[in-house]
Amino acid sequence: MLVEQTMEKLVSMKLMGMAEALRRWMQQTKEKAMTPLDLAGLLVDAEWRDREQRKLTGRLRTARFRQDACVEDIDYQHPRGLQKAMMLDLAACRWVEAHQNVIFSGPTGVGKSYLACALGQKACREGHSVVYRRASRLYDELAQARADGTYFVLLRRLAKTQVLIVDDFGLEVLTASQRRDFLEVLEDRYGISSTVITSQLDPKNWHPIVGDETIADSVCDRLVHNAHKVKLTGDSLRKVKAGLTGNPKPAK
């Protein structure tokens, strides 16, 4: 009866990790001797792991990644100019702690989005907050926020995000409002957080896409000068994998 009451109290206090660990211990190790200190350690470790897992699940849900990607599954066999040493260094997430940026550029289909999502997922695993947006969706979200009066709330939320991934930047020329909004986002984040950009265009060719020379200078200054640049080349992995399997798969 005492154990049942203890279980109920643990659940009511939302100590789910402890409750589950105690239940397993009662079922599997009744015959094994364990000191009170050892049992306490077992329960605390279980609760800590459970809370960390729930935090990670929440970060991944908030990020809304386009692809289920992880750095351990990156394909280094396909010839696209991807250096494994560089990716392993980025996977350590020191660039996040240093508030640096990452820019993936290259033709369509070479895995830019996958690599960005993989780094974002690793950042989540390291305890950092991440938000993924396709560039067009980000512009739409900012425009909607202006319209409904939540613009500054959205800017603050984006500014607090430790890693912002902007995918498919530069597919079309920005409008006047889009480039102003994008600069506002980058200005709020500059020096305090990290941004990951994927683009088919090399950063030196971003000025015509931004569409205003002065704003383009400001955008590039906040993104490029402290960025790790990963320039990819080669054929589309989608085409290669489709030819091999007859079924297109996301580029890794």
pLDDT value of position 213: 92
Is residue 245 very low, low, confident or very high in pLDDT (cuts 50, 70, 90)?
very low
Residue 142: partners with Cβ closer than 8 Å, 6 or more residues away:
151, 154, 178, 181, 182, 185
Arithmetic mean of pLDDT, 88-105: 96
> CA 164, CA 40: separation in Å to the nearest integer?
40
What is the overall mean pLDDT for the chain?
88
Is residue 73 very low, low, confident or very high in pLDDT (cuts 50, 70, 90)?
very high
- Helices (H), ranges, the chain: 2-12, 16-28, 36-63, 84-91, 94-97, 112-125, 135-148, 151-160, 176-189, 207-210, 213-223, 237-245
pLDDT value of position 243: 60
- 130 token code pair: 């991440």
**Residue spans in the chain of domains classed CATH 3.40.50.300:** 65-245
Give burial (CB, 10 Å; 0-12/13-18/19+) of 188: middle
Question: 144-150, long-range: CB within 8 Å, 24+ apart, which pairs?
Answer: 146/177, 146/181
Among 28-42, 164-178, 200-214, 215-229, the least confident range: 28-42
Among 6-15, 84-93, 180-189, 198-207, the least confident range: 6-15
Give Rg (Cα) of the chain: 23
User: To which CATH superfamily is domain 65-245 assigned?
Assistant: P-loop containing nucleotide triphosphate hydrolases (3.40.50.300)
Is residue 151 very low, low, confident or very high in pLDDT (cuts 50, 70, 90)?
very high
